[in-house]
Amino acid sequence: MGKQTQIELFLELAKPDEKTGVSRWVSKTEFVGKYKDLMFQNGWSWGRGDGQLAKMYVLERFPAHGAIEKVRTNGFNTEEKFNQAIRSDIKEFYKNKKCVMLGVCGTSVNTRIEVDHKDGRKDDSRVSDKATQKLEDFQPLCKAANDVKRQICKECKKTDKRWNAKNLKGNPYSFYEGDENYTEELGCVGCYQYDPVAYRKQSAKRIAKEASENTTDFIMKKLYGEDE
């Protein structure tokens, strides 16, 4: 028999009821000996909301906020879940591309490339289906950038307020389409985090347009001052 996975170890320890899916509370102090691989410090890695265990069960932690002391399953997860699987040809295309945010493509933990779903809300059924996925639904991000983006997208989903690109010094506009308010019409389009390449391209076009429109006024004021 091969080594048990973390999920198998936890289910063996928690023993959720076969009919209800509810288990006993399992304290972190029990993650010793055979179950030592279940121990975590910052965050509940094997119990992530988008992980395999969460697809099977409704997971609960105690306390609800702060350092986790114990966890349990509280029923089966019957909600339809977004399939995060990415088609192999798309992964192959992006795997050696440089991060569109930080410009790196390395082998260390933080610089290795991950294929990122541009839409951080992950609620588009077309993108969830491998058969209908498109290259432009994804982008190459190094792990460090992807980790930060994940948190930014969670905050946006909670507040419906999009991330302001001017948080990065040198970015001339807050959004390349729309404003700070998330709408169903635009979705994530227009947010720097959704597509930093599109943001740069649209910003360059917008700056060029604004400069062109203001050239005449600038020249006349330079030559004739306020008399013109």
Do 171 and 191 belong together in one domain? yes
Query: Do residue 62 and residue 35 come from a single domain?
Result: yes
Q: What is the dihedral of CA 62, 66, 67, 72, to 10 degrees?
A: 20
Is the domain of 12 the same as that of 63?
Answer: yes
Per the structure, the count of domains in the chain is 3
Establish if 209 belongs to a structural domain. yes
Are residues 155 and 87 located together in one domain of the fold?
A: yes
Q: Which of 76, 99, 122 is the last residue of a domain?
A: 76
* 95 and 33 inside one domain: no
CA distance 154 to 159: 9
Give CA–CA dist 72/106, Å, rounded: 38
When pLDDT is cut at 50, 70 and 90, the band that residue 104 belongs to is very high
Domain that holds residue 190: 161-228
In a domain, 120, yes or no: yes
Residue whose token pair is 């491998």: 130
2-35 pLDDT per residue, tens: 688 999 999 999 999 999 999 999 999 999 999 9
Mean pLDDT, residues 75-98: 89
Specify the residue for token string 């105690």.
62
| Residue 228: pLDDT over 60 | no
76, 93, 123: which is the final residue of a domain?
76
Mean pLDDT of the chain: 91
Q: Quick check: is 166 in a domain?
A: yes
Confidence at residue 83, expressed as pLDDT on a 0 to 100 scale: 81
30-49, pLDDT tens digit by residue? 999 999 999 987 678 888 87
Residue 1's pLDDT band (cuts 50, 70, 90): low
Q: Does 70 score more than 80 pLDDT? A: yes
Q: Is residue 1 part of a domain?
A: no
Pair 89, 154 in one domain: yes
Rounded to two decimals, what is the model's pTM? 0.64
33 and 66 share one domain:
yes
Residue 77 has pLDDT above 90, yes or no: no
Last residue of a domain, one of 76, 95, 114: 76
Mean of the pLDDT values across residues 138-158? 95
Identify the band that residue 227 occupies on the pLDDT scale cut at 50, 70 and 90: low
Alpha-carbon distance 196 to 124, whole Å? 20
Residue 121 lies inside a defined structural domain of this protein? yes
Regarding whether 144 and 96 lie in a shared domain, the answer is yes
Q: 188 in helix, strand or coil? A: coil
